[in-house]
Amino acid sequence: MLCGDGTGGAMAGCDDWTAEMGERRVLHASLGLRPDADATTVRLRADEVQLAAGPADQIAGLYVVDCSDLDEAIEVASRHPWARSGRIEVRPVWP
């Protein structure tokens, strides 16, 4: 995870915050999303999967799925009900 990598900057203090929020039991999961450039947006229209490079306009929720590759992640995303009327952003996380 990028947080607390010792380089300071924007990530400085993340480990302390994560520990505090964990102790308060308000933090349920923590993942570092890779950059917007690594995102793929998935839509399903008339049973056709449509892909676009880059992020969705707005993130309304987050699901973490463990897929073997981008193709599997796209298939999983295309089956989500929101893919029919909205868009599903698929983005890898940092190891």
Mean pLDDT by 10 residues, the chain (95 residues): 49 76 80 84 94 83 86 91 86 85
User: At residue 92, what is the residue type?
Assistant: P
Residue 41, phi then psi, degrees to nearest 5: -100, 130
* pLDDT given for residue 27 in this prediction: 72
**Do residues 21 and 49 both lie within one domain?**
no
What integer pLDDT is reported at residue 74 of this predicted model?
Answer: 93
- At residue 69, the pLDDT reads 92
In the prediction, which pLDDT does 12 show?
66
- Please give the Cα distance from 50 to 72 (Å, whole number): 15
> Per the structure block, which two tokens stand in for 2?
């990028």
Task: State whether 25 and 4 are in the same domain.
Answer: yes
Same domain assignment for residues 41 and 86 = yes
State how many domains the chain has.
2
Is residue 44 classed exposed, middle or buried when 0-12, 13-18 and 19+ CB atoms within 10 A define those classes? buried
Does residue 43 share a domain with residue 23?
Answer: no
| Dist. CA 80–CA 71, nearest whole Å | 15
The answer to whether position 95 is within a domain reads no
In a domain, 10, yes or no: yes
Tell me the two tokens of residue 31.
């993942």
Boundaries of domain holding 64:
36-90
Strand arrangement of the beta sheet that strand 88-90 belongs to? 48-53, 40-45, 88-90
Q: Phi, psi (5° rounding) for residue 16? A: -65, -45
